[in-house]
Chain A
Amino acid sequence: MMGGLITGSQALAEPFKVGVCYDLSKAYTFASPQVSQAAMDLAKLVNLKGGIGGEPVEVIVRDHGNEPQRGIECYSKLSREGVFVFDTLSTPVSLAILPRAMEDGRVLMQSLVGRGDAVDGTVFDWVYPVGPTYWGQAANDVAYLKQLHDGDLSDVKVGFVYFDYPFGQEPIEILETLSEKEGFDLELYPVPLPGSDQASVWSKVRRDKPDHVIVWMLGGAHVVASKEMQRNRIPMDKYISVNWLNEVDIANIGNEAAIGLKRGTNVVGGLDVPLRQEILAELYEKGEGSGPLEKTEDVFYNTGLAMYSIVFEAARKAVELEGLPITPESYKAGLETLKDFDANGLMAPITVTGEDHGGGGKTRIEMWDGETWVPQTDWISAYSDVVWDVVKESSEKYGQ
């Protein structure tokens, strides 16, 4: 509390703060360091350029070890210090904070995590899962398959390999609905956590011969999967991953071995994204980066840039709309005026409205060609009617 009273001109400028309560020590460390590093870098960049409305921004990074309890602790502590925008990068923690954020009127960003039905802004007024939900992402994968098979999926067999807990189970409902609608066969292959033993799963996949496998796993489990696929001689190009697959995984699978592998994503992968280049030039070349350089060579870094571009852009809009200081309400308003925002070509353009807090849920499918990711589709958001049916059905139950 005393720490807030810094001397000089800064004392006047109460910075716009974002609470970055992440799992930096447990299961999600395959992604959280990159994302948080991106957040810190971006904040520095924004400050270099004069901040927002002339005031600096600050990201406060804390570890919650993926424990709801500690997540709440982080949230309460920071919100007392005046933070009203939070992100958790963890479904369990996001769920734990959600009731409080709703109650206290704090903005809970939850890109790529948390409950998918929170895109329904009419129910979850303080929750912003900007970016794709897992439901939308799965639907887009199906749309891609449909495009691949010239609009007819009736003879196609799709396997769904997933972590057998809520994160992996989530898309099942949508996939089942779409399998009925489009007439493809759906086979489910649950993988028990932590995914280090997948031998029987892939033996089964080999025997069932699906045309494609959609995979909802994280980190090292992709590598295990790829090895099992090699053993079973299942070609890599059948593999369509959820967005949580990165360059580290590719390296561990082997650049060559990974050729043909696909993933759905809401950000542009690769090193030559303009925003990243700018950060490299402004920060890393001057030794001002917030972490090791190699962490920026990772799609999750781009993911982080995308998430926080949105966070800061909304703040900018808020200042435009209602001036300083930014309040939770003005920030909310700022968020809801985002329109076709793509952070300078970094990600799928998003448009957030009072009803749709998801921003449209666009993703695209990319393929690894041995060196880089090659887009296979445009930014799409398919079957949005089906997805919204599920969303509405689920969000209606909230608050009862």
Chain B
Amino acid sequence: MDWIFLSELAINGALTGLLYSLFAIGLVLIYKASSVPNLAQGGLTMLGAYVVVALSHDAGLPLWLAIPLAALFMFALGFGIERVALRRLAGRPVVMILMLTLGLDIFLRGTTLAIWGGTSRSMELGVSYDPLFLGDIFISRIHLVGAAVAIGLFVAFMLFFRSRTGIKLRAIADDYTASWSVGISVERGVGLSWALASVVAVAAGVIWGEVQGVDQSLSLLLLKGLTVAVLGGLDSILGAVIAGIILGIIENVGADFIDPLVGGGSRELIVAAVLILTVMIRPHGLFGRHDIERV
């Protein structure tokens, strides 16, 4: 057993996993604040990355300006989405909203690509690709940066959900009508959650854009992100972070053991298996809240 190699796999797996968490936090935010699954997060992430590239590369703004501007734009867009689409479906069964967000995703992707085209572009954050050594272990700098961003967002949102606004958002997720009855503006709350998730999408888009280039495959992060979010429990930010790390490690290290056995790539298989098993044992993911059902 090559322990150094295994640790390298594990550490890089954990870092990659945190990048998935970065994406998943956007999903969790919205779910936690409105009990709505957001299948448009992939489209949002892709759009976020494109906007940053458009502002920095095409319009020539420096990155430190382009990113906040893009975040601002996406923040407004998030509110807009609530205004135009979600508001009308408030309180409807989950499947319909699921479909709505899926339609939104297709729309966002189509529009983004119609504007900017499908050619892969690069983010150029300027993070060096020279390896970083931890003893004999090679670590990727950009992944480290991404992981740091993910942890930062995690801390920020943990604090946020303890604040009064955060509590109001959680109240909205519990019961729309009751929230209205005590004067909580459900619309503004849901809008805020979408706006914040859209900002998270910019963060994820920038980091992932740097890692893999800015093109439509960014929207495919949705599947991995959903897996992480479900594994952690759809309304748990802590869950998203921990599940990301766990999944990252398991798929990297596990694949190393299992690939040779099955004679092919087994990562997807491992991810699927972990998801199925976890959910069977813990129907609300690792840290998700339980439904309170009283007969």
Binding site for B on A (CB under 8 A): 25-27, 29-30, 33, 164, 169, 188, 190-197, 199-200, 203-204, 206-207, 219-221, 223-224, 227-228, 230-233, 248-249, 251-252
Report Cα–Cα, A293/B210, bound state, in Å: 26
Query: Given that A230-B129, A231-B131 are contacting pairs, would A29 and B118 also be in contact in the complex, using a CB cutoff of 8 Å?
Result: yes
With A164-B264, A196-B208 in contact, is A30–B118 under 8 Å at CB? yes
18 A-B pairs whose Cβ atoms sit less than 8 Å apart in the complex: A188-B263, A194-B212, A194-B220, A196-B212, A199-B12, A199-B140, A199-B143, A206-B138, A219-B120, A219-B217, A220-B120, A220-B212, A220-B217, A221-B212, A223-B213, A231-B140, A231-B141, A248-B120
Q: B13 near A200 (CB under 8 angstroms)?
A: yes
Told that A30-B215, A224-B213 touch, could you supply 5 new A-B pairs with CB distance under 8 A?
Answer: A25-B113, A223-B212, A224-B212, A231-B141, A249-B120
Q: Is B252 at the interface (CB under 8 A from chain A)? A: yes
Is the pair B13, A199 in contact by a Cβ cutoff of 8 Å? Answer: yes
Does B180 touch A at the CB level, under 8 Å?
no
Interface class of chain B by DSSP:
helix
Q: Flag if A190 contacts B264 (CB, 8 Å).
A: yes
Pick the contact of A203: B5, B15, B141, B216 (CB < 8 A).
B5
Name the residue on B nearest A298 (C-beta): B119
Contact B129 A231 (CB under 8 A): yes
From B5, B129, B216, B264, give the contact of A26 (CB < 8 A): B216
- Tell which of A33, A196, A228 touches B117, judged by Cβ atoms closer than 8 Å: A33
Chain B, residue nearest A194 (CB): B217
Question: Are B217 and A192 interface neighbours, CB within 8 A?
Answer: no
Give the distance in Å from the alpha carbon of A195 to the alpha carbon of B211 in the complex. Answer: 11
| Cβ–Cβ contact B215 & A196, under 8 A | no
Residue interface bits B259-275, CB-to-A below 8 A is 1, else 0: 10001110110000000
| Given A164-B265, A199-B140, A199-B252: A227 touches B118 (CB 8 Å cut-off) | no
Q: Does any Cβ of A come within 8 Å of B16's Cβ?
A: yes
Residues of B within 8 Å of A, CB-based: how many? 43
Asked whether B9 is an interface residue with its Cβ less than 8 Å from the other chain, the reply is yes
Tell me which of B12, B16, B140, B265 contacts A190 (CB under 8 A).
Answer: B265
Q: Which residue of A lies closest to B12 (CB)?
A: A199
Residue positions of B touching A, CB distance < 8 A: 2, 5, 8-9, 12-13, 15-16, 110, 113, 117-122, 129-131, 138-143, 208, 211-213, 215-217, 220-221, 252, 255-256, 259, 263-265, 267-268
Query: How many A-B residue pairs lie within 8 Å, measured between CB atoms?
Result: 111
CA distance A29 to B110 in the complex (A): 13
B122 touches A252 (CB 8 A): yes
B209 to chain A, nearest CB (A): 10
Bound complex: CA of A233 vs CA of B98, how far in Å? 44
Q: Are A224 and B211 interface neighbours, CB within 8 A?
A: yes
A192→B268 contact, CB < 8 A:
yes
> What's the least CB distance linking B118 to chain A, in Å?
3
Known A-B contacts A25-B113, A204-B256; A252 and B140 likewise in contact (beta carbons under 8 Å): no
Answer whether A252 and B121 are a contact pair too, CB < 8 Å, given A223-B212, A224-B213. yes
CB-based nearest B residue for A25: B113
Q: How far is the CA of A224 from the CA of B220 in the complex (A)?
A: 15
**Given that A33-B117, A230-B129 are known contacts, is A219 also in contact with B268, CB under 8 Å in the complex?**
no
Across the interface, which residues of A come within 8 angstroms of B143, CB to CB? Answer: 199
Given contacts A200-B12, A232-B138, contact A29 B216 (CB under 8 A): yes
A35 to B119, CA, bound (A): 13
